[in-house]
């Protein structure tokens, strides 16, 4: 079954800009980018800490709202694993990769460049 949420959905991203206005959508992208930058500087142990997991939980929703499907899915896996008590290293590794890609994507969107491949 195909994944219903693409790595990046420009239509979803565009709808946010249309509903909120370009300036507010740009602010939201900046906030999303700031959260990603904070998480990208954390070690896997820090990501798995209560503070790190709280940021991951918040990022899951923000990323989905802005059309960042890959990032939202990676956050959801980590968020679900924390309920089980332990977050697998592989999930943290994929989260790190998704954050790196999403940071490049956010930069491209802010600079009006073509989106990078996942």
Which positions ≥6 away from 33 have C-beta within 8 Å? 103, 106, 107, 110
Structure-block tokens of residue 72: 């939202």
In a domain, 117, yes or no: no
pLDDT digits (tens, 9 = 90+) for 18-51: 999 989 999 999 999 999 999 999 999 999 999 9
Given a cut of 90, is residue 70 above it in pLDDT? yes
In a domain, 4, yes or no: no
pTM: 0.90
In a domain, 67, yes or no: yes
CATH number of the domain within which 68 lies: 1.20.120
In a domain, 28, yes or no: yes
Domain tally, the chain: 1
pLDDT digits (tens, 9 = 90+) for 81-118: 988 888 999 999 999 999 999 999 999 998 876 667 77
69 vs 76: CA distance, rounded Å: 10
In a domain, 84, yes or no: yes
Residue-number span of the structural domain to which 62 is assigned: 10-110
In a domain, 115, yes or no: no
36 vs 5: CA distance, rounded Å: 19
In a domain, 91, yes or no: yes
């Amino acid at each position: 079954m195909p994944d219903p949420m693409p790595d990046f959905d420009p239509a979803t991203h565009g709808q946010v800009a249309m509903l909120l206005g370009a300036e507010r959508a740009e602010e939201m992208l900046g906030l999303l980018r700031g959260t990603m930058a904070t998480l990208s500087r954390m070690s896997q142990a820090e990501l798995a800490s209560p503070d790190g997991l709280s940021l991951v939980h918040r990022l899951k929703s923000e990323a989905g709202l802005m059309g960042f499907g890959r990032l939202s899915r990676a956050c959801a896996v980590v968020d679900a694993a924390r309920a089980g008590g332990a977050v697998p290293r592989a999930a943290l590794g994929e989260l790190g990769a998704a954050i790196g890609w999403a940071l490049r994507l956010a930069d491209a969107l802010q600079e009006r460049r073509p989106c990078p491949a996942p």
